[in-house]
Amino acid sequence: MRVLIDARVIQDHFPGIGRYVFNLIDALAPQLDGELLALTVENAANTRYDLGQLARHANVTLIPTDIPIFSWRGQTALPGLIRRLGPDVAHFPYNLRPLRTGVPSLLTLYDVIPRRFPEYYPPFTRARIELIQRAAIRASDAFTAISHSTADDFNALYGVSRQKIVVTPLAPDPIFHPRPPAALDDFRRRIDLPDGYFLYLGSNKPHKNLPRLMRAWARVNEKLKGKSEKLIVAGHWDARYPEAKLLARDLGMQDSVRFLGPVAGEELPLLYAAATAFIFPSLYEGFGLPALEAMASGVPVACSRAPGLSEVAGEAALLFDPASVDEMADAILCLGTDAAVRAQLRRLGTERTAAFSWQKTAQLTLRAYHFLQKRVIV
């Protein structure tokens, strides 16, 4: 089989999807009986991944192109390039895909946030996203979805047949694992973190539910008086949504909440591993990879019962209603005061992450390719 993957998303503009595609190609190549063509884009900022590492696989060929993802040339020039390359299957991990390729094509489905939370998007933006999503679905012959929850959402909201969807769960990167105490102590000193801190990692978009996290932390902070624990909020910060920072200030928590901002890739595993616990309060997730990364790092997790997130966490995390500040605060307080619960969740988290691997993701993705090629799942 000759497979083409649109790997133009391996760039800084797509940190999450880029990680998915890089790890998928790396795990897929040894399992694929045939050639894997990875379409890349020239001159894109890429500080996270070495594309040359993918080329170490004998059956991987990098195909550089000057066609950016956000360009109409993706509709005018890219289809001709794909036809000349002659793949049996083309895999598009992003909605901005050519609408006509001349070969069987597959689209990866992540989430339906704009449909679940339309109030968070201006009308024009929402209409544009919806138009692109529907066009990408119509142009695709089969699909992978990152969770059963995502597959169900696309079936219910877009009419995508479940028979055309292969669920391919994501996996934590191998860089996420427990670290020696000395390395964690050095890391905390280096970036001025306390010995005990609770971590949230992600964006501050409205569905991430950070204002409720601030209110929950205010209650926890009141009960943990005299202790040095802090809440660390890390990840990309969108200035359009300042509510969490404003609320932390209004609640007088300047000393107990630190907004760290984006974290360099090499520091990220240490940030997880040095935490007392990881808190993930999202109202909705297609998958919830940060919770799994925290578990792989040996850190106990408390997260919301949002379908995609609870599907990933299973029984290896304390689950709470994301709309309940009280439940969220109780879960955080439990992790802050009960060493036995923390130890149990570390053990369960380690067992849980063993069920997810990029090799398994690649195996399931290969099943989707066979479905495309043979029109039957093997």
Model pLDDT for residues 217-273, shown as the tens digit of each residue: 999 988 877 566 899 999 989 999 999 999 999 999 989 999 999 888 789 999 999
**Residue 145 near residue 165, CB atoms below 8 Å:** yes
Distance in angstroms (rounded) separating the CA atoms of residues 296 and 353:
6
Residue 80 CA to chain centroid, in angstroms? Answer: 32
pLDDT for 196 equals 87
Helix (H, G, I), strand (E, B) or coil at 81: helix
What is the CA 200 to chain-centroid distance, rounded? 14
Going through 214-324 in order, the beta strands assigned E by DSSP cover: 230-234, 257-261, 277-280, 301-304, 318-320
> To 5 degrees, how large is the angle CA 217–CA 223–CA 229?
60
**Sequence letter at residue 44:** A
pLDDT over 60 (residue 2): yes
Write the CATH number of the domain with boundaries 2-171+357-374: 3.40.50.2000
Q: pLDDT band at 73, cuts 50/70/90?
A: very high
Q: Which of 258, 259, 279 is nearest to 328 (CA)?
A: 279
pLDDT on residue 96: 96
pLDDT at 197: 95
pLDDT above 80 for 179: yes
Write out pLDDT tens, residues 27-64: 999 999 999 999 999 888 888 889 999 999 999 999 99
Q: How large a percentage of the chain has pLDDT more than 90?
A: 88
pLDDT score, position 376: 41
Fold of 181-353: Rossmann fold (3.40.50)
Question: Which residue intervals of the chain bear CATH 3.40.50.2000?
Answer: 2-171+357-374, 181-353
261 CB burial (10 A radius; 0-12, 13-18, 19+)? exposed
57 half-sphere exposure, CB direction, 13 A CA radius? 23
